Structure 1
Amino acid sequence: MKFAITASDRYLGVWEAFVAQGWEPVKLFTTPVDNRLHHHQAVLKYARERGIEAQISPLGEADLEDLAQRGCDALVVASYNWRIGDWRPYLRYAVNFHPSPLPYARGAYPIVSAILGNHDSWGVTCHRLDPQFDSGPILASRTFPLAADECHESLDLKVQLAAKTLAADVAAHFGDYWENARPQGEGTYFKLWTTADRTLDLTRPVDEILRRIRAFGLIECLAVVNDVTVFVHKAVGWKESHDYRPGTLVHVNALQMLVAVQDGFIGIVEWSLHPPDVPIGTLHR
């Protein structure tokens, strides 16, 4: 089938998987990126090498009409910042690859919640694209285990790998999966995180603090130390009895700071006074 795809570099594997199964790409839609957490150089290069048109602006009704005129059968959504309108008057199919085991964890960027919730498994789901985000009938899904010390970056890579494997399966059995897609039913929804979600409470236990740091990874957490807000690049911690009041700065070595917490110590070993250049936007859609 002929298809258009929305993607950033983290989902290039989805595009490659469909092509490997004989699908014919007609157009790429991508978005502006921060070149820190998400990029689009690789997908643009992939399009350019194959003579595929690329668009870095919202996909509108005129674009859907143009796809129909090109004989495009399907739209494959894999990472997109903008809402897509009603595709049904123009295309036969549209699917979305979502980075969670739907119907659990609908929402723009749920992998942070996977770690904050201390889940022992996660997944990727391919579903029909419906007007309500992440709610369409499920074609297929793939799950995988999470480690006890899972971090944002390791989970993101696991999601990318699972998405590519799932895409190959979906592309190979698309007709059957589409016809037998199962309704999601009730599910859960996770809002995009806020600054408060990223802020560390240095009076809490070591494990809770380190989990939050792992959950946000390169997005970075904030911490207030001696009334100064810092952005935490890297931290370590351990449990140990002490007599310090939780939240107290107890030791400094060069730029490393050791803070007493409820049941031990957190060492903020890499930090900055400036926030990372990561827009708080929709990284998966």
Structure 2
Amino acid sequence: MRFAFAGFDLWCGVFDAFVAAGWQPLAVFTMPVDNRQDFNEEVVARAQGHGVPVRMSAIRADDLRVLAEQGCEVLVVAGHAWRVPDWRAYLRHAVNFHPSPLPEGRGPYPLFRALLEARRAWAVSCHCLAPEFDAGEILAAEPVALSAEECHETFQLKLQLAAARLAGRVARDFAGLWQARRAQAAGSYWPRITDAERTLDFRRPVADNLRVARACGPHECIAPVLGGAPLYVRRAAGWAEPHAFEPGTIVHHYRRKLVVAARDGFVALLEWSALPAAARHGLGT
């Protein structure tokens, strides 16, 4: 079957799975990225390797019309930031791969909240592209098991593997899964994480603070230490230990490692910066 792909490097495995199943790519749509957390060089290289055009912009109705003229049968979306116009006037099928067990966890990036809530079971879903984000009929889902100490990086890698497995299943039995797709129930929408949600609270137990740090991972949590400006933390560790320090006090430092008192122990800030990531990126650091 002939398909167009819209996404970026995080979900390149979806593109690869369709190609491995014998599907023919016709075009790739991606988007400008920050090259800190998100990248598009691999998906661009895939397009160039197959000799198909790359658009670095939102999909327009004219793009859908051109795809229809080329005989495109399916638009496959995985991580495309922009809303896709109504495709039904141009294409027979359009699907999206979403990193949650739909209908739960609709929204732009549900990974943070799944980790903050210490979920132990998760999934990637493939659904029909609908006017409302992440609300179309479900074709299939692939389960993902999470550990009690899951971090953002391992969660993301597990989702990539699961998305590739799911894409392979969908590609091999697309007609059957499309025919059997089922409507979603009411579900839930999860907005982007707020600064308040990614801020450590040293008045709480060490375990709660480490869960926030693991959930944020390379996106960085915020550490409000006493007597100073907030710190932006990429990696932290900690342990329970009785003490008499006020929570939030920096009780020890060694080179760039800081130990901060929490309610029932200590949190070690192992990788941190005094500037948020966006400001550092603007300075070229």
Structure with larger RCO (C-alpha < 8 A, sep 6+): 1
Q: 4+ runs of 1 displaced by more than 6 Å?
A: none
Tell me if structure 2 keeps the 8 A contact 1:36–1:277: no
Question: What 5-or-longer segments of structure 1 have no aligned partner?
Answer: 279-285
Question: SS at the partner of 2:196?
Answer: helix
Q: Which residue of the partner structure matches residue 234 of structure 1?
A: 235
Larger deviation, residues 146-155 vs 226-235: 226-235
Q: Which residue of the partner structure matches residue 66 of structure 1?
A: 66
Count residues in correspondence.
279
Question: What 5-or-longer segments of structure 2 have no aligned partner?
Answer: 280-285
Question: SS at the partner of 2:277?
Answer: coil
Equivalence map 1:113-132=2 (5 Å): 113-132=113-132
Please give the per-residue CA displacement for 1:92-115, whole angstroms capped at 9, x wherever unaligned. Answer: 000000001111111100011111
Within the alignment, does 1:224 sit opposite 2:224 as a pair?
yes
Q: Which residue of the partner structure matches residue 270 of structure 2?
A: 269
Q: CA deviation at 1:49?
A: 1.3
Please give the per-residue CA displacement for 1:59-90, whole angstroms capped at 9, x wherever unaligned. Answer: 11111111111111110001111111100000
Matched AA of 2:130? D
Tell me if structure 1 keeps the 8 A contact 2:214–2:235: no
**Residues of 2 paired with 1:256 and 1:111: CA distance?**
27
Q: CA deviation at 1:46?
A: 1.0
Q: CA deviation at 1:24?
A: 1.1
Larger deviation, residues 99-108 vs 226-235: 226-235
**Residues of 2 paired with 1:270 and 1:166: CA distance?**
35
Within the alignment, does 1:50 sit opposite 2:50 as a pair?
yes
Identity %: 47
Question: SS at the partner of 1:268?
Answer: strand
**Residues of 1 paired with 2:257 and 2:164: CA distance?**
40
Tell me if structure 2 keeps the 8 A contact 1:230–1:272: yes
Q: CA deviation at 1:48?
A: 0.5
Equivalence map 1:170-249=2 (5 Å): 170-225=170-225, 226-249=227-250
Matched AA of 1:179? Q
Q: Which residue of the partner structure matches residue 22 of structure 1?
A: 22
Matched AA of 1:162? A
**Residues of 2 paired with 1:254 and 1:12: CA distance?**
39
Q: CA deviation at 1:253?
A: 2.1
Q: CA deviation at 1:169?
A: 0.2
Matched AA of 1:265? F
Question: SS at the partner of 1:198?
Answer: coil
Q: CA deviation at 1:26?
A: 0.4
Q: Which residue of the partner structure matches residue 282 of structure 2?
A: none
TM-score, with length taken from structure 1: 0.95
Question: SS at the partner of 1:62?
Answer: helix
Tell me if structure 2 keeps the 8 A contact 1:34–1:277: no
Matched AA of 1:216? C
**Residues of 2 paired with 1:24 and 1:251: CA distance?**
58
**Residues of 2 paired with 1:255 and 1:48: CA distance?**
43
Question: SS at the partner of 1:196?
Answer: coil
**Residues of 2 paired with 1:152 and 1:20: CA distance?**
28
Equivalence map 1:158-173=2 (5 Å): 158-173=158-173
Please give the per-residue CA displacement for 1:159-202, whole angstroms capped at 9, x wherever unaligned. Answer: 00000000000000000100110111110111011222221112
Question: SS at the partner of 1:228?
Answer: coil
**Residues of 2 paired with 1:20 and 1:59: CA distance?**
25
Q: CA deviation at 1:203?
A: 1.4
**Residues of 1 paired with 2:222 and 2:125: CA distance?**
32
**Residues of 2 paired with 1:94 and 1:269: CA distance?**
44
- RMSD across aligned positions (CA): 1.3
Q: Which residue of the partner structure matches residue 283 of structure 1?
A: none
Q: Which residue of the partner structure matches residue 78 of structure 2?
A: 78
